[in-house]
Structure formats: structure tokens, C-alpha cells
Amino acid sequence: MNMKFKKIGCIADPDSKTATSALDELMKRYELLDAKNLPLDYCDVVVMLGGDGMMLKTMRHYMHTKTPIFGMNRGSVGFLLNEYRPDNLLERLHDAVVTKMYPLEMRATNKDGHIHTELAINEVSLLRETCQTANIKISVNDEVRMENLIADGILVATPAGSSAYNFAAYGPIIPLGSNVLALTPICPFRPRRWRGALLSQKSKVRFDIIDSDKRPISAVADSNEYRNVTSVEVQQRQDIVMNILFDKSNGFEERVMDEQFNC
């Protein structure tokens, strides 16, 4: 997809000298705007310099604007990022491929009855807070599917996040076009052989915490944590679209394939 951008913003991880040095280099070579000092909807595209963590922060920052984001890796893994090359930036932006991503919405209710709502790009996780395992009832679309999951926890992952914590918990890597979410247990004890499920992206998942006083659970939407929850509802927000740009020669789908075959 060929795109013409007039107002190109750039932002770098302020805690990374590698990223800020790259920002200085690009600012000298191109007519870029300092995105951190501009209104969210001002730029036609934002070039992000940093690692996957900074990319997630940038995606969250621009989540409600639909501003395309072209990340270049100045961190470590860089799964959501393109290779850093200062040459031919304008041509790369012009020829970039758009990948659309949709966040999960988490509604977590704590012991006091307060409801905390957060959006997650990668996953929503439920994690035990003490040495005792969690006991969780699982419902999908208002139908109870499992009365008791005894485990360290459980997570719901988006296709974009399926290669992160979900994959580390032995969940499947999901291609973006598959329209499914991963429901993956974390160190399950009972049922012993249950490895999770694939759900339609339109599914509404509810977790009820059994014996929450004795077995407290925290709910985490990406990096936002709420402790001592009694129930959690998770559903994908189809009305919020994040446009992530990848080089045509190394799109996100190809990265997903590589992750599945590079052992």
C-alpha cells in the first residue's frame, strides 16, 4: 500500500541512549517533527525508536487517533518493529504495509466492588498473588465452560500478543487474519492436560475467582495491574483500530511464521 505522508512525527525512548541518538540522526537527515510536543492527531504518521516496550507505550498513546506507527528497533527483540536503518526512510514509509490491531478491554471487579477498566494490546492475565494456586471459573459468552481451573493463572491474548507471554506459557501463535483469541492457562494443575482454547474474536470471556479471600488474584492488562479481584471480563474492542506499519519485505505475518518454525 503506497502512502504519502506530509507531517511525519518521530519519538524515541527517553531512557535509551541508543534510541535518542537515532532520533538525533534522523532529525538531521529528514524534515521530521518532534511528536512528543505535538497534539496526538497532528501527525500523519509517527516513527517510533526503541524496543517492544516503548512500541506498546506508543501504540497505547495513539490508540484513539488511528495514526499509523512505524517502529524501528533500538531495543532488543523488536518483534513489533522494523529494522533500524537511517537510509531511505521516506521510501520505506511510502511502501509500508499496514497491519491493523485491536485491543482487548478488561473489566476487573475487586473485593470492594470497584470496577477497573483497562485496554490491553498484548494480553489480559490473571495471576496468583500468594503461594497457593488460583481457583478460577471460566465462562465464554455467558456459558460456563470450566467450573474449576487450578493453576498459577490464565490469560487471554490477541494475535499481536500471542507470540509474547502467551507463547511462553505454551499457547499458540495466532496469525493476524485468523479472527481468534488465545485462552491459555499458566502452569495448570487441574485439569492436568488442558492446554487452553482458541476463541472467536467476538467472544466475551468471564473469570470468577473461587475463594478469593484465601487465594487472591491480580488482573493485569499489559502492564496495568489490579490486585484482589473477584471477577474479570475480557472482550475485544472492534471499534478501536491501531494501524502499525511494517516494511513490505518483512511484514508481521512473516514474523509470525518465523516464530513458529525457528525453534
Catalytic residues: 52
CA 128 to chain centre: 21
Q: Dihedral of CA 229/230/234/239: which sign?
A: negative
- The Cα–Cα gap between 84 and 89 comes to 10
Three-state DSSP at 111 gives coil
Let me know the angle formed at the C-alpha of 138 by 137 and 141, rounded to the nearest 5 degrees.
140
Nearest-CA neighbor of 106 among 214, 234, 13?
Answer: 234
- The Cα–Cα gap between 258 and 263 comes to 9
